[in-house]
Structure 1
Amino acid sequence: MTVTPAFTAEDARRRRLAILAMVGASALIAVTSLIAKALGLGGEGSGLHPFQVSAARFVFGFMTVAAFALWLRPDFRGAAWPVHAGRTAAGWLGATCLFAAAARMPLADATAISFLSPVVTMGLAILFLGERVGPWRWLAVAVALTGALVLIRPGTAAYQPAAAIALGAAAFMGLEAIMIKRLSDREPPIRILLINNCLGACIAGTAAAFVWRAPTPEQWPLLVLIGVAMVGAQSLFIQAMKRGAASHVIPAFYSTLVFASLYDFAVFGDVPDALAVAGAALIVAGVVLLLLRQQARK
């Protein structure tokens, strides 16, 4: 007979800390999208290209991680460089698409559509890993995709063309998630963060060189902040996953949508309508159900 270990006060404390860390990560991720929107819109034609915004995210992110790496001195022997390169390319494309979409549509809508990335991850797992999917997970996918259709509203006057860019962000983030899983199983977090931001700075900086325009004095602090905030979000996300089970902490990640809505209203005065709220709720419900079923299967 199997005996279930007792749930101790220390376990409860660790779970609370894990959830708080995930909520903190969500708040910072929403901040990066808000900054990207502000930089993309600009003022009087001073908006920056998404390539420049994502370059700042990686360049200043790398500088932040490098400062900690000087102290921690990570070992690079045995690093899976091809996986790191693929993960970084997918992450750069995902971030660039999300930043571009955020500048062209309500921030909450772009964030909600990007949450479809676990659906993409599941599809890739079926294709490349031979994973079998049961009826509950297919139902979860159907619910999430229905929410996306409600948000995008194809064939209506309210159709949002920028939603296609947000869908691209979800696809690239889903691909990135598979490679992050491979890396996190075998490499320390500081090495993953350092290599990711270093390679990302090289890729994003090269792309930004072709569309470069000098940022205004007001934009430079925002460019620095987007890199620092993303590193903070990544670090909190890793700590949350280390301290708590995925089934407990991942649902808290979807508080990103709440933060995005609050930030968008506070800064730009955007208020989501009833259909937008319903679509976002369906996406979150479907994806949370999908993740819970995946965890139960494991």
Structure 2
Amino acid sequence: MVAASAFIAGTMLAAKLLGTDSLGPPLHPLQISHGRFLFAFIAIATTAAALRPKFDPPNWRLHMGRTLCGWSGVTLMFASVAFIPLPDATAISFLNPVFAMLLAIPLLGERVGPWRWVAAVLAVIGALVLIRPGAGTFQAAALLAVGAAVLMGLELILIKKLSGRENPLQILLTNNAMGLTIASIAVLFVFAAPTPMQWLVLAALGFLMASAQACFVNAMARADASFATPFSYLTLVFAGAYDIAVFQAIPDWVSILGAVIILGGAALLAWREGVARRRA
């Protein structure tokens, strides 16, 4: 999950470069989302052709729900990073583990113990610190990121439902094939010829997302959703580091405080789970 977080923050950085004038005329969020699905599908399909794993009959209803939530959430997330700072957009959109943990109770029947609640609350507090309520962050673009968080929280639950039924590579291949179909139709209305550098970054975005998905699906298959998903908050830390490296945006004390609180919540969760497993 930590590796997936690093890759996901990389896709946010790529989306910001593509959605602003950093590499040429800004690309529409629907076109950025299309590039993400196109190159991710190429990477995953190539892997499947090389490994030739055994596939089972897919659960089309779950796949369709997961794909629609994922495509819509990713598109909203890519739209938000073009208008608000990368760490702020990441903080808002990656509140999705909270929605996933809450949805895991009625939809997956998971039991969320007190330590998981404490760790989740700490992560939310850290995210709110990074959002900076009242400092101008809550604008129209911030609402896009909130919508992305809700949709991707539901997607986490659907991934968990699929992870126990199908091969992880099959889940990734089916999702990206369906997502590419939806994105290809949507991009017809907004397509503009990218510059050579934009094509390169679109390809990097797709391959980063494919790597993130591979790590994420395997993490969800090995642990309860309510345990694994809070670690995705580390995406906030990676996003801040990338912002420094690329945009020379030095974080202030508020950003550092938020990151420390989030890391504290994740460390508490990991420690308590480790103690519980040793006792069991």
- Same fold, judged at TM 0.5 (above): yes
Q: 1:283 to 1:204 in 2, by over 3 A?
A: farther
Distance 1:45 1:67 in 2: 30
Aligned pairs for 1:45-194 (under 5 A) are 46-129=25-108, 133=112, 135-154=114-133, 156-161=134-139, 162-194=141-173
User: Quick check: 158-167 or 62-71, which moved more?
Assistant: 158-167
Q: Which amino acid aligns with 1:88?
A: T
Q: 1:289 to 1:210 in 2, by over 3 A?
A: farther
Asked if structure 2 preserves the Cα contact closer than 8 Å seen for 1:247 and 1:292, the reply is no
Choose which of 19, 43, 52 in structure 2 pairs with 1:40.
19
Choose which of 220, 237, 243 in structure 2 pairs with 1:264.
243
User: Quick check: 33-42 or 213-222, which moved more?
Assistant: 213-222
Distance 2:108 2:142 in 1: 29
Give TM-score scaled by structure 1 length. 0.78
Map of 1:197 onto structure 2? 176
Q: 1:122 to 1:24 in 2, by over 3 A?
A: closer
Deviation, 1:86, is 0.7
Deviation, 1:113, is 2.6
Deviation, 1:293, is 6.9
Asked if structure 2 preserves the Cα contact closer than 8 Å seen for 1:105 and 1:160, the reply is no
Deviation, 1:179, is 0.7
Choose which of 191, 204, 208 in structure 2 pairs with 1:212.
191
Q: Structure 2 unaligned runs (5+)?
A: none
Aligned sequence identity (%): 53
Q: 1:44 to 1:221 in 2, by over 3 A?
A: closer
Deviation, 1:52, is 0.8
Distance 1:128 1:252 in 2: 21
Q: Does 1:225 align with 2:204?
A: yes
Q: 1:93 to 1:288 in 2, by over 3 A?
A: farther
Asked if structure 2 preserves the Cα contact closer than 8 Å seen for 1:116 and 1:283, the reply is no
Q: Which amino acid aligns with 1:260?
A: A
Aligned to 1:264, what secondary structure does the other structure show? Answer: helix
Map of 1:26 onto structure 2? 5
Q: Does 1:275 align with 2:254?
A: yes
Q: What's the RMSD between the two structures over aligned residues?
A: 3.3
Give TM-score scaled by structure 2 length. 0.83
Deviation, 1:60, is 1.1
Of structures 1 and 2, the larger Rg is shown by 1
1:146-174, CA deviations, whole angstroms, 9 ceiling, x for partnerless residues? 334333334x3433423322222221121
Distance 1:114 1:200 in 2: 20
1:159-196, CA deviations, whole angstroms, 9 ceiling, x for partnerless residues? 34233222222211210111111111011111111101
Q: Structure 1 unaligned runs (5+)?
A: 1-21
Distance 1:175 1:80 in 2: 17
